[in-house]
Amino acid sequence: MTFSISGGLIIAIGGIGPALAIGFIGMKAMEAIGRNPDATGRILPAMLLGMAFAEAIAIYSLILAFLK
């Protein structure tokens, strides 16, 4: 099994964006819940959906790194 620089770069760059996005989504959701606790039932599903989409991008980069 050979390791390549390009595979490592794919994972590094492909993981930074989704990690920042997930953190930002969580931060803003917690701010929104802090401002309006009654809206928790509407905020949490949207937050989880946004995090899932961001995580899917990280999974795509993982697949690309394995294919490389």
Tell me the per-residue pLDDT of 20-56, one tens digit each, with 9 for 90 and over: 999 999 999 999 999 999 999 999 999 999 999 999 9
- Beta-sheet strands, E only, within 1-68: none
Q: Cα–Cα distance between 66 and 29 in angstroms, integer?
A: 33
What pLDDT score does 4 carry? 77
59 falls in which pLDDT band (50, 70, 90)?
Answer: very high
Dihedral of the alpha carbons of 27, 32, 59, 61, in degrees to the nearest 10: -60
- Residue pair 11/61 in contact by the 8 Å Cβ criterion: yes
**Between the CA of residue 20 and those of 31, 36, 58, what are the distances in Å?**
16, 24, 11
